[in-house]
């Protein structure tokens, strides 16, 4: 399992990107797919920070998703870009 913690503001950034790039709706769908575990009783739109436990096969899909944008994270702030890049760089 891989761990990714996203704040409310970071999840709002994913929502804002939406259908424009793969780090929007496609990333959201991967993070909310069966097998991914988030903090119980916390919804995506809640103000709380969510820590996701991501199985390896979905982590690889997140990496492939990022590579579809040539490894960039369009429209993300630098801090979120770094967090996401660190996440995919640690997939082995």
- How many contiguous H segments (helices) and E segments (strands) does the chain have? 4, 2
Domain that holds residue 74: 2-89
* 3-class DSSP assignment, residue 58: helix
72 in Cβ contact with 80 (< 8 Å): no
pTM tops 0.85: yes
Q: Could you give the CA distance from residue 14 to residue 4 in angstroms, rounded to a whole number?
A: 14
Q: Could you give the CA distance from residue 60 to residue 47 in angstroms, rounded to a whole number?
A: 28
The pLDDT of 7-36, averaged and rounded, is 95
Q: How many domains does the chain have?
A: 1
Q: What is the pLDDT of residues 23-71, one digit of tens each?
A: 999 999 999 999 999 887 789 999 999 999 999 999 999 999 999 888 7
Question: What stretch of H or E contains 10?
Answer: helix 8-17
């Amino acid at each position: 399992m891989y761990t990714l913690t996203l704040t409310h503001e970071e999840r709002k950034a994913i929502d804002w990107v939406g259908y424009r790039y793969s780090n929007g709706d496609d990333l959201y769908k991967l993070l909310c797919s069966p097998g991914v575990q988030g903090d119980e009783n916390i919804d995506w739109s809640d103000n709380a920070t969510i820590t996701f436990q991501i199985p390896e096969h979905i982590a690889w899909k997140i990496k492939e998703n990022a590579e579809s944008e040539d490894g960039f994270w369009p429209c993300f702030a630098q801090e979120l870009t770094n967090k996401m890049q660190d996440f995919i760089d640690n997939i082995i």
